[in-house]
Structure 1
Amino acid sequence: MDLTELLNKCALANKPDEKKVNELERKEDELFQKIYREWKGTKAEDKDLTYKVIPKFYFKLPKEDEILPQKLREETRALFLQKRSRQLLDNNELKALWVLLDKHHSKPISGDEQLINYEDFKKVGALAGSKCAPYFTAVVFAKLQQGDPHGRISIMALFNYVMRKVWLHQTRIGLSLYDVTGQGYLRESDLENYILELIPTLPQLEGLEKSFHSFYVCTAVRKFLFFLDPLRTGRVRIQDILACSFLDDLLELRDEDLPKDLQEANWFSAPSALKVYGQYLNLDRDHNGMLNKEELSGYGTGTLTGVFLERVFQECLTYEGEMDYKTYLDFVLALENRHEPQSLHYLFRILDINNRGYLDTFCLNYFFRAIQEQMTMHGQEPVSFEDVKDEIFDMVKPADPCKITLQDLLSCGQGDTMVSILIEFHGFWAYENREAMAADNGDESSHV
C-alpha cells in the first residue's frame, strides 16, 4: 500500500456521517424555532389558518415603460366602464318607469300632485325590473318623505331622484374615461382634455373662435383646480367634481335659450370667459402676455393697495416678476369669491407677512397704513388704526384676543369683509359707509 492510498483511507475514516450531520442540524433548527416562538409569542397568522387564503388586494401600477401591462389595464378599465354604463337606465327605460309610476299612484288624491304609498312603491319596483332595484328601497322611500299624513311620497320627487342618480352615474363614467391613472382623480391635463372635447356639445359655446378654445379651457379648468385642489397637488378627485355645482354650471350651457343674466353669472359661459380674458389683455399694457405689479394695479376699481399687490407677487407663482394668465385667474377667483373658504385661504396667506399662521396687530397695521395713505390722496380724513383694529377683532372674535387665525376668519362669517377693509380703498369705503348705503337702498326700494 503506497502513501497516497493510506492517506485517502485515513481521510474517509475521519469523515463524519452526512445523514447524522443533517439529522443534528434539523433537531438544532427545531429547537431554535421553539425557543424563538416562546420568546416572541405566537402570531395571529400562525393561529388562524384563514390568513393563508387572503387574496391579493394591492397591485402596483405598471410603469410607463411596461407597455403590455399598461395596455391590459386600460382595456380592463374600458370594459368595466362599459359594463357600468349598460347597467344604467336609458331614455326608453326612464319613460317606461314614468308610465308605471303614473299608473300606480295611491289614493286619496291630494290636489294636482300624485303620491304613492310604500306598497305601491314596492309593486312598481318589482315591475320596473332589476335595473331599477337600487331606487326602490326602504331607505330611498324614507328619504323622500315630506310629511304626507298617509305616509306617501311624491311620484315627481321620486322620478327626479332617479333621473339625478342616473345623471350622476353617467357623468362619473364620462369623467372616468379621462382618468388616465385610474385612481379616481383627474389631473390638470385630463380636465383640459375633458372640457376641450365637451365644447362642441355645448350650444352656448358655438360662437367661440377656435383660436380662443385654449384660453377658454384654461379659464374653465382653473375654477375646478382653485376650489377643489386647495393644496395645489395638480389633481382633483372625481368625487369632488360630482359633489360641487361647477359641472352643473358647465352643462347648463347645453340650453340654447339660456337667459343673458344667467350667462353673465356663469363663469363657464362664453361672455364670462371673454370678459375675464379681455380684462387681462386690457391690463397688459406692454402686450408681452404677462402682468407686472403696475399693470395689475388697474384691476377692478383700481384701488387695491400697493402693499397688497407687492405681497401677491411675493407669494404667487411669477416669471421674472410678472404674472401669467393662470396665476391671474387664481387672483380673480379669490377676489371675486372672497366669502369662500378657498379664497380666504389664498388671501390669508398673502396677509400673513411673517408666515406664522396668524395675523397680529403688526400685520393689520402694515396693510391698513396703505389704506390711510389712499384716504389722504382722496382728500379724506384718515381713520385711526386703533379704531379699525378694535372693530376687526370685534367682528372676527378670535379664540386668542391678540391673534387672528385662518380658522377664526372661516368661523366668524365675515372674513371677506375683514379682508376687504385691509386690501382696497373701495372695500374700506364701502364698510365705513355701510349704514348710509343701507339707508339709500331702503329709500330706493320704498319708491319702487
Structure 2
Amino acid sequence: MDWIQKLKKYNEKKEEGRGRLSESEIRTEETEQFSKIYNECKGPVKTTHQSYNSIPRFYYKLPAEDEVLLQKLREESRAVFLQRRSRELLDNDELQNLWFLLDKHHTPPLVGEDQMINYEDFLKVAEEAGPKCKPFFTATVFSKLLQIDPYGRISIMQFFNYVMRKVWLHQTRIGLSLYDVAGQGYLKESDLENYILELIPTLPQLDGLEKSFYSFYVCTAVRKFFFFLDPMRTGKIKIQDILACSFLDDLLELRDEDLPKDAQDSNWFSAPSALRVYGQYLNLDKDHNGMLSKEELSRYGTGTLTDVFLERVFQECLTYDGEMDYKTYLDFVLALENRKEPQALQYVFKLLDVQSRGYLNVFALNFFFRAIQEQMKVHGQEPVSFADVKDEIFDMVKPMDPLKITLQDLINSGQGETVTSILIDLNGFWTYENREVLVAEANSEEPQEQEV
C-alpha cells in the first residue's frame, strides 16, 4: 500500500471520530500521522554517488569586517595573483621585438606603404615571438583582421595595433582591479576616487591643477563614470563596463602633452572643463555657503529653465535642508548637457513623470508647458497653443501607445533632447520654434563659393 492510499484510509477514520476531538488536536494528530506514513513509505535513502564527493569547492564566503587576518590574507593573495598576471603581459622590449619580427617576415608585395603578411609567414612569426605572444597568433585573430586582399594577407600595422590594444586593456584591468577592495569585479565610488587621485600625477595635462582643487577634480571625474555606468544608483560599477566605455580613453588622453585646445574643451576630464563646471557652481552660489538653492540654480545656463521644472529637481534629487551640493549639481549638469544619451533622458524623464506612472500623458505635458507659456507672457510674447505643441511632440516621438510616451519611446525616437527642451526651457522652446529661421541664417553666413 503506497502512502497516498494510507492517507486516504486515515482520512476515513478521522471523519468517523471528528466530533470527539478539538480543531487543534485534529491538526496535531494529522501532522503526526502524515510524518509517520511518509517515513514508512518513502523507502531506504538512496546512497550518494561516489563522484559527488570529488566536486571541488566553488564558493568561498567573504571574510567579515572583524576577521582582519582573513581580509589581509585575501588582499595579499589577490595582489600576488594580479602581479603574476601583469608579468604575463608583453613589456615594451617584447613589443619592439614583435614589431621587428613582423617587419622581417612581411609578405610582399606592398599595398601603398602598408606592409602585409600571409598566414604562413604569420605562423613563422608565432614560432619566433615566444610564449607570451602565442594567444595573439591564432587563426581566429587572423580571420578577424583579414580584408579584401588578393593574396589573403592582413595588415601588419593593424595586427600590431590589435596586440597593443589588447595589452593596454589587460594592463588597465589589472590596474583597476588593484583598487577593487571587495575583489568582486566592481569599483565603489571611494575605490574609483582613489584610482583617479593617484592617476593625476601621471597626466601632464593636469600639471597646472592646484592640490587644493584635487578633491573637486576627482569628484567631477568620478561623477561622469557613475552617472552613465550606474543609472540604477547601486553605488558600484563593473570594471568591465569601465573598460568597455570611452571615458577611460578620454581620461588617459590627458597623458598627451600636446593635446589641442579644442580636444581639451570637449573632454570632460580636462583641467579647463573641470574648472569651467566648478567655476559655474561657484558663480551660482551667491550666498557662498557651498550649496545651491532653487533660486540660485534658476540662473543656470541661459537662466530660462522653468520654475516648475526646477521645483521637480529639488523634489526628486538629493538635497540638504532644501539645497543642492556639488555632487548633485554634477548629475544635473551631466543630464542637461547630454540629453541625447539614454541615461540623461532617464534622469530628465523621472522629473517629467510628475505622476510617477512610468509614462508621460497629456496631463504631464500640459503641466510643464504651462510654465513655458507663462514665461512667454512675461517676455511679452504671444503664448503658443498647447494643443499644437502636444500634437508635434507625439508626431516626433511616435509612441507605441498614441496617448502615452514612455522613456523607451523617447529614446527610440531620437528626439529626446528636442522634446525635453520644449518642456523645460524657454530658450530651448524658442530655438525649436525658430529652427527654420536659424538654419536659413546659418546657411547665409557660410562663405559662398566664388564663381569661376
Normalization by structure 2: what TM-score? Answer: 0.89
2:13 corresponds to which residue? none
CA distance in 2, matches of 1:235, 1:379: 49
1:94 corresponds to which residue? 95
Matched, 1:237 2:201: no
Q: Amino acid of the residue matched to residue 363 of structure 1?
A: A
Q: How far apart are 1:149 and its partner, in Å?
A: 2.1
2:109 corresponds to which residue? 108
Q: How far apart are 1:410 and its partner, in Å?
A: 1.1
Question: Residues 138 and 387 (structure 1 numbering): CA distance in 2 closer, same or farther, change over 3 Å?
Answer: same
Of 355-364 and 370-379, deviating more is 370-379
2:290 corresponds to which residue? 289
Question: Residues 32 and 329 (structure 1 numbering): CA distance in 2 closer, same or farther, change over 3 Å?
Answer: closer
SS at match of 1:88: coil
1:182 corresponds to which residue? 183
Of 319-328 and 134-143, deviating more is 134-143
2:27 corresponds to which residue? none
Q: How far apart are 1:243 and its partner, in Å?
A: 0.4
1:81 corresponds to which residue? 82
Of 119-128 and 362-371, deviating more is 119-128
The 5-angstrom pairing of residues 242-261 of structure 1 reads 242-261=243-262
2:130 corresponds to which residue? 129
Matched, 1:228 2:234: no
CA distance in 1, matches of 2:43, 2:271: 72
CA distance in 2, matches of 1:48, 1:159: 52
1:314 corresponds to which residue? 315
CA distance in 2, matches of 1:446, 1:390: 38
Number of matched pairs: 413
2:338 corresponds to which residue? 337
CA distance in 2, matches of 1:142, 1:244: 25
Matched, 1:400 2:401: yes
Q: Amino acid of the residue matched to residue 363 of structure 2?
A: F
1:21 corresponds to which residue? none
CA distance in 2, matches of 1:407, 1:249: 28
Q: Which runs of 5+ in 2 are unaligned?
A: 1-36
2:42 corresponds to which residue? 36
Q: How far apart are 1:64 and its partner, in Å?
A: 1.0
CA distance in 2, matches of 1:284, 1:32: 74
CA distance in 1, matches of 2:97, 2:378: 71
CA offsets 1:104-123 (integer angstroms, 9 cap, x no match): 11122222111111111111
Of 58-67 and 107-116, deviating more is 107-116
Of 431-440 and 356-365, deviating more is 431-440
2:16 corresponds to which residue? none
SS at match of 1:186: strand
CA distance in 2, matches of 1:72, 1:102: 46
The 5-angstrom pairing of residues 379-398 of structure 1 reads 379-398=380-399
Q: Amino acid of the residue matched to residue 254 of structure 1?
A: R
SS at match of 1:372: helix
CA offsets 1:286-331 (integer angstroms, 9 cap, x no match): 1100001100000001100000000000000000110000000000
1:210 corresponds to which residue? 211
Q: How far apart are 1:34 and its partner, in Å?
A: 8.3
CA distance in 2, matches of 1:413, 1:134: 41
* RMSD of aligned alpha carbons: 1.5
Q: Amino acid of the residue matched to residue 290 of structure 2?
A: G
CA distance in 1, matches of 2:271, 2:111: 44
SS at match of 2:187: strand
2:327 corresponds to which residue? 326
1:417 corresponds to which residue? 418
CA distance in 2, matches of 1:32, 1:403: 56
SS at match of 2:57: coil
SS at match of 1:226: helix
CA distance in 1, matches of 2:166, 2:446: 42
CA distance in 1, matches of 2:383, 2:247: 42
CA distance in 1, matches of 2:117, 2:429: 56
CA distance in 1, matches of 2:119, 2:379: 69
1:20 corresponds to which residue? none
Q: How far apart are 1:33 and its partner, in Å?
A: 7.5
CA offsets 1:93-139 (integer angstroms, 9 cap, x no match): 00000000111111222221111111111111121111011111111
Matched, 1:278 2:279: yes
Q: How far apart are 1:37 and its partner, in Å?
A: 4.2
CA distance in 2, matches of 1:443, 1:147: 44
Q: Amino acid of the residue matched to residue 89 of structure 1?
A: L
2:270 corresponds to which residue? 269
2:171 corresponds to which residue? 170
2:378 corresponds to which residue? 377
Q: How far apart are 1:379 and its partner, in Å?
A: 1.9
CA offsets 1:240-283 (integer angstroms, 9 cap, x no match): 00000111111111111111111111110111101100000000
Q: How far apart are 1:49 and its partner, in Å?
A: 3.4
Question: Residues 32 and 403 (structure 1 numbering): CA distance in 2 closer, same or farther, change over 3 Å?
Answer: closer
Q: How far apart are 1:143 and its partner, in Å?
A: 1.1
SS at match of 1:358: coil
CA distance in 2, matches of 1:50, 1:417: 63
Q: How far apart are 1:47 and its partner, in Å?
A: 6.6
CA offsets 1:192-251 (integer angstroms, 9 cap, x no match): 111111111111111111111100010001101100110111111100000001111111
Of 112-121 and 77-86, deviating more is 112-121
CA distance in 1, matches of 2:439, 2:184: 51
CA distance in 2, matches of 1:37, 1:280: 75
CA distance in 2, matches of 1:193, 1:426: 40
Q: How far apart are 1:381 and its partner, in Å?
A: 1.4
CA distance in 2, matches of 1:389, 1:439: 26
2:200 corresponds to which residue? 199
Q: How far apart are 1:35 and its partner, in Å?
A: 3.9
SS at match of 2:446: helix
